[in-house]
Every structure is written in structure tokens, then in C-alpha cells.
Homo-oligomer: A and B are copies of this chain.
Amino acid sequence: MANAPVSIREVAAHAGVSVGTVSNVLNRPDVVAEHTRRRVQAAIKQLGFIRNESARQLRAGRSRTIGLVVMDVANPFFTDVARGVEDEASESGLAVILCNSDDQQAKETHYLELLEEHRVQGILITPVTGAHERLARLQRRGTPVVLVDSRSPTRGQCSVSVDDVLGGDLAVTHLLAAGHRRIAFVGGPLSIRQVADRREGAIRALDRAGISAGQLPVIETPALNVAAGRVAGAAIADLPAGQQPTAVFCANDLLALGVLQEMTTRRIAVPDSVAIVGYDDIEFAAAAAVPLSSVRQPRQQLGRTAAQLLLDEALGGASHQHRQVVFEPELVIRQSSQASPARPRAARAARRSPRPVAAPPATGCADTAAEAAG
């Protein structure tokens, strides 16, 4: 039976002091005398008083929350980013409001309005295409915005991203080195900047190898999830024999897992008939039917850094300098793109060395393991 919540006023009455004093006990305990403080604290406990955040926020002008808008929480990549954000925010006593844009303008706009109405300290966002103008306005109106996994086109905004062009380059350079010449790209919608960049990197790698860009067939997917990957895999498998690629580079691991699943179902050998390289190196990439080569991004780090920049901007105030942080991706080579493995499932102790980046052991990546221990 919800009894009315008790306010600071009643606490004051009960402790025989003024509301100002109660407020001081709450916010500046050091300025109130020992015995008064104790009396007030007793009253607080006895009445079960709970501060009203709305009232504090109204007074303060800003809420103690930050917004996080991602394309899809169901994607483990964003989950890890979210973890990083939440840990960081929590340390500053802030709550995180989580929003899924599903890469839809309408949903994104809806959530941005909601967050602005909430007067959040700031917004972390992986924007959909063409959102920049809107975000710039938001920022001008006073809500700090930090781009996550996306590079700010201007100097007037913080952003944390990973060099996706380099990532695509790494992946395809690796495939070329393994002798592949017909490489397909799976990803979409191409309107998503990350997807376009990764494809561009792939083309750059081909270019350098003297292969024309037209030589990169693109299977555009409607989304970046496993189901779309399966469909793409089927499309590849159904190509006439002459046009079949010998390697596939996927814009993310979910797609790669879908492609792999479809290949497995159709008994098309991976990597012997077709090699696969994914992107993100989510934890499940290493555990896949055929352990997946992938381009690793510092996911949790991405989230933490973004949150830090946001907090610096929101709390630090005038001294804040906008920064565009760009991380470098790292290629992790596993079985799905191994040139000609002796045995399909053998664990490989040593590796030939002339690879762009040394592949860590298949036991998974350090950051994930550390976090998992908690």
C-alpha cells in the first residue's frame, strides 16, 4: 500500500531543524555540527526518506544521467561498448539510459528528443547516416554529444572511433597474402558508414595489389545480423561455379557467423572451399564452428573512453578540449582463413610470422577475460 513518500520537509520537522539544515546534511555534511547531523540522520533513517532526483535535477538544471544510443544492443559488439560506458558512468554516480536506434532515423530522432527532454548530462551515440546536422544542433543547444564508433566530421565534437578503412585493408591484405584472388564483400546497408569504410579498406588493399576495385563483388545485406548473414551465405553458395569467390570478408562477425553457418549446412568446406574473415572479434568468433578470423576492435575501451570524454566535457566545463580519438584495429587470424590447414580442427601451436599482426592464442582476448573474472 504505497504510502506517500516523505520529503525533506518532514525530515526537518521530525528532527526539529530547518529544511536548509537537512539539505546541508545531505550535501555538505561537514558544515553542520556533529550532534545536529546525527539527529537529522536518525530522522532520515527512521522516516525512510529517499531523495527526490527530479527535484534536484530541476534545481540543478541537468539530470544525473547520460544517454547511450546504439544501433542494436543484441549485437555483442555494442553490449561490450555499453559495459564500458556503464562502468565509467557508474563511477561518477550517473545512470545510463539505453536506447536502440535499429539504424532507423525515426527511432533515433525519437530517442534524441527524449534524452534532450531529460536534460541528460550528455549523449553517447553511434549515429545513423545523416544525423550529423541534427547532432550539431543538439550540441549547440547545450547537450554535449560524443560520437561512438564514428569519427566526427568536425572539430567541434568529441568522437571515439576505430580506423575502419585500415581494418578492411588488414583483412583483405591478409586474404590476398593467403593467395585469394576472388574475394567477396558481405555487408550492408552500405549507407552505414562503418560498412562503407570497411569496404573501402578492402578496395584499397586490392588496389595496392594491382587488382581493380570492380573485382570486389559486394553482397549487400539489409542488416548486420546472423540471419542476414545466412541469406548472404546462401546467395554466395548459389552463384554459378565460375563466379564463386574463394574468400569472403564480412562487415561484422554476426554476418560472418551467418555465412559460416550456411556454408556448414551446405557442406561447403571452410576455409578450404571458401575462407571467411569477420569484423569486431566478438567473444563468440573464437568459439564458432570454424574459429573465425576477425578484425578486433577495443570494444569496452571504446565505451570507457567515450564516457570519459563526455564526462570531461559535461563536468569539466570550459577547460574542455574536443578530441577525436581513433583506435587501430588488429587482425586476429584463426582457422576460418588459414591458407591450407593440415587438419580442420587442429590447434596450431606456432604460426608463420609474416602476418600484419601476430595472432593471439585461441583462448580469447585479454580484455574480455579480465572483465569476465568479476
Contacts and interface: CB of A to CB of B under 8 A. Distances in A.
A80 B73 CA distance: 8
Contact of A362 (B50, B261, B347): B261
B225 A372 contact: yes
Contact of A80 (B74, B230, B264, B283): B74
Contact of A98 (B82, B267, B284, B363): B82
Interface residues of A, number: 80
Determine the main DSSP class of A at the interface with B.
mixed
Contact of A73 (B5, B55, B73): B73
A372 B58 contact: no
Interface string A95-119: 1111110101000001001111111
Interface string A25-59: 00000000000000000000000101111110110
Contacts of A218: none
A107 to B, nearest CB: 8
Contact of A267 (B73, B345, B364, B372): B345
Contacts of A364: 226-227, 230
A233 to B, nearest CB: 11
Given A53-B119, A58-B55, A98 B96 contact: yes
Given A99-B95, A347-B265, A54 B58 contact: yes
Q: How many copies does the complex hold?
A: 2
Given A119-B52, A374-B223, A97 B95 contact: yes
A51 B115 CA distance: 11
A152 interface: no
Interface stretch (A158-166, A201-209, A286-294): A286-294
A189 interface: no
Nearest to A80: B74
23 contacts: A2-B140, A48-B141, A73-B73, A73-B86, A74-B79, A74-B80, A76-B76, A86-B98, A96-B97, A97-B98, A102-B374, A228-B372, A258-B287, A261-B286, A261-B287, A265-B362, A267-B347, A284-B288, A287-B289, A289-B289, A289-B290, A289-B291, A289-B345
